[in-house]
C-alpha cells in the first residue's frame, strides 16, 4: 500500500470502491496546520472528474493498469470480439462498454485499458479519426461550397453524420470519432 507521497499524474488508485486515475495533484504545506495533497481524479468507468483532498501520509491503494492495442474483428450477439495484436488472444467485450460503437470498422485498431491484476477491460478508446466511404446522401449541387450548410449522410459503418452540401455518395471522408463530425474529404 502506498501513501500520499507516491501520488503522481497518471497513477491509478482505488478510492471508495471505485477506480480513479490522478489527472493533477498539488502537495500543500500551509504555515499553520498539517500538510495535505489536493488532487483532481477521473473515475475510470464513468469519466467523471472529482476533486479530493488527502491528508499527508494518508494510505492509498494503487492499482496497476495497462494499455493494450487490439484489433476489432466482428460483433457476436451481445459482444464485440477484439484480438490482441501481439499474441492473437481474443477478448469479448459487451456492447454497452464501447462508446461511439457506430464508428467501429472491421480491422480497426483500438486501445483497451485493462485492470492488470484482474485482466478486466475498463475503457475502450477508438482512434481519434476514421476514414469511411459515404454510402448514401442526397446529391450535391455543383458550386455549393460558400455556405456552412450541412446535410445528413450515411457512412459504411451505418452511422449517420452531417456533411457539407458538396459531398456525394461514394466519396471517402475523414470523421472525428469523439464528436461524430465531418473533418475533410480524403483524396484517393
Q: Where do the domains of the chain lie, and which CATH numbers do they carry? A: 2-62 (2.30.30.30), 65-125 (2.40.50.140), 129-185 (2.40.50.140)
DSSP symbol at 103:
G
Contacts of 48 (CB under 8 A, 6+ apart): 42
For the residues 111-134, what does the mean pLDDT come to? 88
Residue 1 confidence class, pLDDT cut points 50, 70, 90: confident
For the residues 21-27, what does the mean pLDDT come to? 91
3-state secondary structure of 5: helix
Q: What angle do CA 44, 45, 48 make, to 5 degrees?
A: 70
**Could you tell me what percentage of the chain is helix, strand and coil, using 3-state DSSP and rounding each to the nearest 5?**
5, 55, 40
- Encode pLDDT of 57-73 as tens digits: 889 999 988 889 999 99
Q: Cell for 106? A: 472491421
CA dihedral 164, 167, 172, 177 (to 10 degrees): 20
Residue 80 confidence class, pLDDT cut points 50, 70, 90: very high
Q: Considering only residues 140 and 175, tell me which one the structure prediction assigns the higher pLDDT.
A: 175
Alpha helices in 96-186 (DSSP H): none
Residue 150: other Cβ atoms inside 10 A:
14
**pLDDT over 70, % of the chain:** 95
Q: Cell for 165? A: 452540401
What is the separation of C-alpha 140 from the centre of its chain, rounded to a whole number of angstroms? 33
What does the pLDDT read at residue 100? 87
Amino acid at each position: 500500500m502506498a501513501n500520499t507521497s507516491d501520488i503522481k499524474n497518471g497513477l491509478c488508485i482505488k478510492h471508495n470502491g471505485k477506480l480513479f486515475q490522478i489527472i493533477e495533484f498539488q502537495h500543500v504545506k500551509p504555515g499553520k496546520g498539517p500538510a495535505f495533497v489536493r488532487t483532481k481524479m477521473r473515475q475510470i468507468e464513468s469519466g467523471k472528474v472529482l476533486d479530493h483532498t488527502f491528508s499527508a501520509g494518508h494510505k492509498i491503494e494503487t492499482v496497476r493498469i495497462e494499455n493494450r492495442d487490439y484489433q476489432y474483428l466482428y460483433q457476436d450477439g451481445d459482444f464485440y470480439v477484439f484480438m490482441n495484436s501481439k499474441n492473437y488472444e481474443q477478448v469479448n467485450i459487451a456492447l454497452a462498454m464501447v462508446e461511439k460503437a457506430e464508428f467501429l470498422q472491421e480491422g480497426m485498431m483500438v486501445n483497451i485499458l485493462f485492470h492488470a491484476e484482474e485482466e478486466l477491460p475498463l475503457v475502450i478508446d477508438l482512434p481519434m479519426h476514421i476514414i469511411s466511404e459515404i454510402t448514401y446522401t442526397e446529391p450535391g449541387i455543383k458550386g455549393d461550397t460558400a455556405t456552412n450548410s450541412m446535410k445528413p449522410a450515411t457512412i459504411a459503418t451505418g452511422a449517420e453524420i452531417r456533411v457539407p452540401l458538396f459531398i456525394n455518395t461514394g466519396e471517402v471522408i475523414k470523421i472525428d470519432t469523439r464528436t461524430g463530425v465531418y473533418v475533410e474529404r480524403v483524396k484517393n
